[in-house]
Amino acid sequence: MDHESPVGVSVLLRYQELALKGRNRPWFQRHLIRHLHRALAGLGVREIRVPMGRLEVVLGRDAAMAEVRERLQYVFGLANYSVAVRVAPEMEAIAAGILKDLPREAPAGFRVRVRRADKQFPARTPDIEREIGRRIVEARGWPVNLSDPALTIGVEIVPGEAYYSFGKEPGAGGLPTGTGGRVVAMLSGGIDSPVAAWRMMRRGCQATLVHFHSAPFLSRASQDKARELARVLARYQLRVTLHLVPIGEIQRQITLSVPGALRVILYRRLMLRIAERIALRSSAHGLVTGDVLGQVASQTLENMAVTGAAVTMPLFRPLIGMDKDEIVAEAERLGTYRISIVPDEDCCTLFTPRHPVTRARHGEIEDAERGLPTGEFVDTALRASVREHVTWPAVEGS
């Protein structure tokens, strides 16, 4: 065998948290592998292998590496990853490969870090590190820095093969898509709800999105924002279903009998009931909102309790204890912030006073709802709703 030439270019993927899942691990792994195949479709993936505690995406020589990296950023379940070269598990092959592929630019300091899962390998880990480091210094004169290297050259030795890589990139963390079950996430055009949906998605949930709007009473701007937000979120899930549900006419009917101060709570309860029906149809087991304790009038503890009581399905509020600036920072990282801040007309402002009730009581809300045909409202809204599918990288309608 020609040890000078690498066997292939790969991406080595590491999944810290997954490793802890004991007997479920193969199941998590299968989800992750299936997702990776779909996420990297069309980019020259030859196969995905599972060398000891790692995943290896084997790529053709002409693979679009920049695009592979771009797509990997959005794969949940990855702690980090490195573009790596697979070589024969022999000192000479490893060292020669590294020397050939070293970046042109000298780093401020480097170190070699070896991880040896193959205990049969003849040399000890520190000896391999020292030997490869010595050869690099000899060839390039690069400064060694063991405590805070600008470049870490990684070597992984597993039975039958070895890999080397230059640095690693952080993954999206979380758990593989699909391992957490399905949820229905309520997506307004605001800053919070896309972050809330993303947080549940990161924990492995498959999210279906629901947006309520008051067109034609208000503009279509909020729907366009919801679509654009869905496109950002679709990167993580590859395919997202967005339900656009018109509730303007129902809101108008609510105004006929319900005092202004209570309307937002009634709208919310209606939204939850509709979302719950969508959830039941799509085998989802939870609803998600971007509520934050105390952020606005509708998010006092009392109001959230009264609102949530409209449904029996578990209601998740992953942002409940966060501060606004923390949520904004997360939204900026995700890329949803710039979409969320575009002005629109939120449906909750339709027919509502500036000062809604802050401490609603169950009794008064139930009284206000008593005369309303709630079941009919839900049915009407669902019949009028439109479903769109967003796929990433391409977008399709239906």
Site for ligand ATP in 190-219 (CB under 6 A): 190-193, 210-212
Residue 368's binding partner among Mg ion, ligand ATP, none (Cβ under 5 to 8 angstroms by kind) is none
Residue whose CB is less far from ligand ATP, 165 or 336 = 336
Burial of residue 325 (CB within 10 Å: 0-12, 13-18, 19+) is exposed
SS3 at position 112: strand
- The nearer residue to ligand ATP, 35 or 268, going by C-beta atoms, is 268
How far apart CA 330 and CA 233 sit, in angstroms, is 13
Q: Which of 295, 300, 358, 385 binds ligand ATP (CB under 6 A)?
A: 295
Token pair of 73 as six digits: 């950023």
Contact 277, 297 (CB under 8 A): no
347 binds ligand ATP (CB under 6 A): yes
Determine contact, residues 201/187, Cβ cutoff 8 Å.
no
Q: Is 284 in the site for ligand ATP (CB under 6 A)?
A: no
Using CB distances below 5 to 8 A depending on partner kind, what does residue 290 bind out of ligand ATP, Mg ion, none? ligand ATP
Binding mask 258-277 for ligand ATP (x = CB under 6 A): -------------x------
> Which one, 97 or 248, has the nearer CB to ligand ATP?
248
Q: Of 54 and 211, which has the nearer Cβ to ligand ATP? A: 211
Query: Considering the complex, what minimum distance in angstroms separates the CB of residue 213 from ligand ATP?
Result: 6
* Residue 267 one-letter amino acid: Y
Interface mask (CB under 6 A) for ligand ATP, residues 159-188, using x and -?
Answer: ---------------------------xxx
Tokens of 306: 């009264």
Q: Which of 374, 398, 366 is nearest to 247 (CA)?
A: 374
Binding string to ligand ATP for residues 139 to 158, with x set by CB under 6 A, is what?
--------------------
77 in Cβ contact with 15 (< 8 Å)? yes
Q: How many residues bind ligand ATP (CB under 6 A)?
A: 20
Alpha-carbon gap, residue 49 to 46, rounded angstroms? 10
- Which does residue 97 bind out of ligand ATP, Mg ion, none, counting CB within 5 to 8 angstroms by kind? none
Q: CA 331, CA 318: separation in Å to the nearest integer?
A: 14
Q: Which stretch binds ligand ATP (CB under 6 A): 75-83, 168-176, 284-292, 377-385?
A: 284-292
Report the residue number, 188 or 307, with the smaller CB distance to Mg ion. Answer: 188
Q: Tell me whether residue 241 or residue 289 sits nearer to Mg ion (CB atom).
A: 289
Strand, helix or coil for residue 253? helix
Instruction: Tell me which amino acid residue 93 is.
Output: A
What order do you get walking across the sheet with 206-213 strand by strand? 315-316, 287-288, 182-186, 206-213, 239-246, 386-391
Give the nearer residue to ligand ATP in terms of CB position, either 41 or 305. Answer: 305
User: Considering CB distances under 5 to 8 angstroms, the limit depending on partner class, which of Mg ion, ligand ATP, none binds residue 85?
Assistant: none
Q: What residues contact residue 256 under an 8 Å CB cut-off, 6+ apart?
A: none
d(Cα 358, Cα 335) in Å, to the nearest integer? 32
Residues engaged in binding Mg ion (CB under 5 A): 188, 190
Nearer to ligand ATP, 35 or 199 (CB): 199
End-to-end C-alpha distance for the chain, whole angstroms: 54
Binding piece for ligand ATP, criterion CB under 6 A, among 28-36, 107-115, 147-155, 294-302:
294-302
Select from Mg ion, ligand ATP, none the partner in contact with residue 186, using the beta carbon and a kind-dependent cut-off of 5 to 8 Å.
ligand ATP
Q: Which two tokens stand for residue 65?
A: 């590496």
Length of the chain equals 398
Q: Which residues bind ligand ATP (CB under 6 A)?
A: 186-188, 190-193, 210-212, 271, 289-291, 295-296, 298-299, 347-348
